[in-house]
Chains A and B, each alone.
Chain A
Amino acid sequence: MNLNKKILTFAFQSRKFQLQVNKNIIDGKIKLPVHLAFGHEFVSALVRSFFLMSKDSLFLTHRNIHYTSIFSKNSRKIYQNFLLNKIQSFNTLGSMNYFDEKTSIKYTSSILGNNLSVAAGFAEGNKSSKSIVYCVVGDGAIEEGSFYETLLLSKSLGLRIVFILENNNFSMATTIKQRRFDMNIKKLSQSIGIKYYYFKRKDIISNVKKYRKIITNTREADDPVVLEFQILTLGSYKDGDNKINYHHGPMKLGINNAYVYNNDSDILYLMNKKLSQ
């Protein structure tokens, strides 16, 4: 399968899975917290497409369904166990701390920034192989001290970690501008001697090329790297005059909707337009 088609397939697979979970939430069949990730599928499909399942490892956050849906073969079965009629008898850690013994997803955490240093320890244990540890964070988690601490630790110990920063501009209902100074992650990373790359949301084709090159180089290096992805999480709601893009609850969608929106604001629509050519 050609690369573009592969990425598209993973993205649609993730979307389809989320739509089913979304429906189960609307129908009241799932009550435990699930952080849907409509609009995040490009980055997870990209990571999946260059990921070596036998070697690499993935460290996720509470919003992880766009990864678990395409990395974990048991995701359907595990989510089935989240259904109300099964949950009582199922020993689960839930969606935010997704757990599957037989997958490359080694750890997921519901605590902001908690997965960073755990990923660093895991990467230290993998030093002798050419494997990569991928650690996903959001723009909220990088406000935690553990982000800086782990970048420093990874650089000092020469750990092969790809930090995937999914920047959707929201932490709960608050934009970056509403809560803090818009710090320069590039300069922060570079001040610790770590390479940084930015992935603009609409540059689908060049992002794929850029990502491939970075991962090829990282596999040969003993160094961490920071990749920041611009994300538009779908599922906005109104809070007074404010439009909140952070999405937690379900959307009014049927399970056959491929797209949330039939325009470029939906990453899947955009990906299909660019990668199908």
Chain B
Amino acid sequence: MSDARLDVRKTYKLLIDGAFPRSESGRSYKVASTKGAFLANAAQGSRKDLRDAVTAARGAQAKWWNATAYNRGQVIYRLAEMAESRRDELAEHVALAEGMNSRTSQKTVSASIDRMVWYAGWTDKIAQVLGGTNPVAGPFFNFSIPVPSGVVGVISVQESSLLGFVDAVLAPICAGNTVVAIASEARPTPAALLGEMTSSSDFPGGVLNVVTGLTSELAPVLAAHEDVDGLDLSGVTTEVGDELAALAAGSIKRVYRPHEKESDSSLRRLRAFVETSTVWHTIGQ
């Protein structure tokens, strides 16, 4: 046994502003499989890491929104391409994290990639579906366009470590928001892996920021952060969600709480972090 190869263990780091720092706190935590086996070490993000992530997201937001919708679609599609080429790696992580057999995990990865493609195709349709012109009674050209809320905090669903994460972060991103996501506490590696893929798929730094760590420690910070415009509470219980929603009220955040039965084709997630901006212009010679 002495000559058996010792494997190289990877520590999964944070994704902040396109870089992969360790937690500024110097903390990490062990991630285990559903069967309790050691999977990896993950950075245990702190409130300061979250703060930095929000700063990065704020800094990236205008640029991301001002990119063309076509371009945003291309970037998200590129992520799907990257995920497809590394699907086995993703599937392995999902299988270990969620205790699936490989067939199921492959199916989950397929569904996740298809979800990315779905959102890639949405970027340049949101305005047409959610916006429009309004026939006001007067000499004005009046149109409504959906614009992003800004910076969205996502407390990612705990169980569905990849598909749930993809859905939660790409919906706001495809609408032009930037995101600070707290990954599933116990199953952070698929999210971390996806974060790594964004760095090689033309995502501008700061558009997606992923913080791993203890949800109970991080979520209240994100919910109360006044420079966060929207909050997705998918990853906490109803009771915790109630508390976080009250914190979110401090800066009048838009709060998304999942319905019991959300259909895949629902636009609730898309609409959750989209604002309607209505422009009036005079019409005259």
Do A and B actually bind? Answer: no
